[in-house]
Amino acid sequence: MTLFGSVNMIDIGDGSNIMKPCYYFVNSSFYRYKDRIDGAVISSLNKYALCINNYSPNYNSFKRSSFCEAFKDGVIDPIEREKKDSAYIADTEIDRRNKGEVLKYVQEKYKKSKLIDLNFTGYSASVLVPAK
């Protein structure tokens, strides 16, 4: 989330209920440091991935580099994921603190009527049921 400023989004308007990441929905390190960061390696105990900064001026050359090729299927490239219809990209200059306007932009860009972000790490809900 920090690198790409991504949140998970679901379109509840089309009935598919398919969740996709939306890159750059909130503030991101890749956008903020686009002139300094071409990519970043993330890892856990048994997984790794190379995240490509598509805002970097070196995007195309980095993507074709031998370093990038070494990661093969472990590459996260928002542009490629968008082409495969497996992600959204909030590629707008709207201030990311204005979540409603960013959401409106993404909905208009992808012609979706009921997109919602499901950032489970940041929300909670509770219901109080009266006793009978």
Is-contact 36 23, C-beta < 8 A? no
pTM of the model: 0.85
Domain boundaries, the chain: 7-117
| Local structure of 76: helix, strand or coil | strand
Walking along the chain (132 residues) 10 residues at a time, the average pLDDT comes out as 92 83 95 94 89 96 94 92 96 94 95 82 52 62
Measured CA to CA, the distance from residue 129 to residue 113 in angstroms comes to: 32
Q: How far apart are the first and last CA of the chain?
A: 44
> What are the residue ranges of helices labelled H in the chain?
29-32, 59-63, 66-69, 78-83, 99-109
pLDDT of residue 129: 61
Which residues, listed in sequence order, are joined to residue 51 by a DSSP beta bridge?
40, 76
